[in-house]
Structure 1
Amino acid sequence: MSAGEPPVLLAAVHGTRDPAGMAQLHRLLGLVRRQRPQLTVTHGCLGPAAPTLAEALARASGPVVVVPVLLGPGYHLRVDIPGVLRRAGRPHVRTARALGPDPLLAEALAGRLHQAGLRSPDPATGVVLAAAGSTDPAAAPATRRLARLLGARLGTPVSTAFLGGPAPRPAEAVSRLRRAGRERVALAPCLLAPGDFARRAAGCGADITGAPLGAHPAVARLILRRYDEALACPESGRGPLPELIIR
């Protein structure tokens, strides 16, 4: 990296064996590059795909900002990413916070629901936000906060469900809304890419199911927002970074 170049944005993604899922992640990072063309954007995987986060970190020269492309708190954010950085021994690495909850995620979730056919919600339509789920105690409250943000954007209350970890499961949440008198139910999967969780969400019995967030422009803007926040916050890293204003 030459003098004056911004630190590398290293996206820490979950990764998947599903080729369609990895293709979506690559398209998302392509949007990030187009929104900030002077920025070097690369990625490392926390799950079953290459390159690993450790490999990507080893290839990145100079200052780095790791942006967890994760939709909320969990084990990867609390344990895996700090462990990789500790073992790497890199002095100039900052770590951003998770993407969610955030109004930009609510914007993307609402957009996917509208693309799937949801119109302005009415008293006959219920909405469920389905997250992957985690045993991390901060995960469920973060999902409920995101549900409130989505509800404010849609103009209707949004229930929460989890594909793993805590209850209820999406099918149960859909059934509850039907028993409560909702004629239609829309499901918003809080997932980035196609894969097993997305297939399970699609089979929960909702009338409308949004697609995974994937390469949504609002998600790309959010990744850059987390990058900029990490640069601006001296507590976000393990050492000093050059004083840069990133536009």
Structure 2
Amino acid sequence: MTSPSRRRPAARLPGGATKRAPLVLAALRRLYPDARTELQFRDPFELLVATVLSAQATDVSVNAATPALFAAYPDAAAMSLAEPEDIEPYIRSIGLYRAKAKNLATLARQLMERHGGEVPNDFDAVVALAGAGRKTANVVLSNAYGRPAIAVDTHVGRLSRRLGLSAQTDPNRVEADLMRLFPEEDWIFLHHALILHGRRVCLARRPLCGQCALAEFCPRIGVEPR
């Protein structure tokens, strides 16, 4: 199904973005050849729950909490019987845990009522679930079902602007720009590699430009000179 951002009028890409994109992709391939999500999961349901929990939280904190959560609620059927206050103790270490517990309880019931307890392989159906959104749907569809998608989180957005691949601040428009610049078969790898580079090198406050393999062609847009 065609996703909303793919129907928007295309915005103008930053100068040099088309020539820079293959350089970025090649460098990321060398740096992170096995890039994948760092969220730990065994099936689409666990990935969906972990991704909902990861909003405004680190993957490390999510991975620390989910083993006990999934032991108690291994599938949508089990979680659909829980109340938010039953879920809260398992995710108390994660930011916004009360709101997330409420979303998970509702999400599990929605999966049972709408999809027979299974996570749908459909963009709009995932977006419609409680606590999910465009980024969540792209993470789940790409990692659980192998569907080409670019999940734009804070790292992907920040690096896209610094590298001159997009001038947009809205994640949906950043996603649209990246889809124009990179082949569809590279979308899944691309967003995972950008996330890893954002966590390890192109940090939000103090990017390690002197250690960056992309420095020779990076315009460093918005980066304070040091």
TM over 0.5: no
Q: TM-score range by the shorter chain?
A: under 0.3
What is the TM-score of this pair, normalised by structure 2? 0.27
Judging by fraction of residues, say which structure has more helix: 2
Judging by fraction of residues, say which structure has more strand: 1
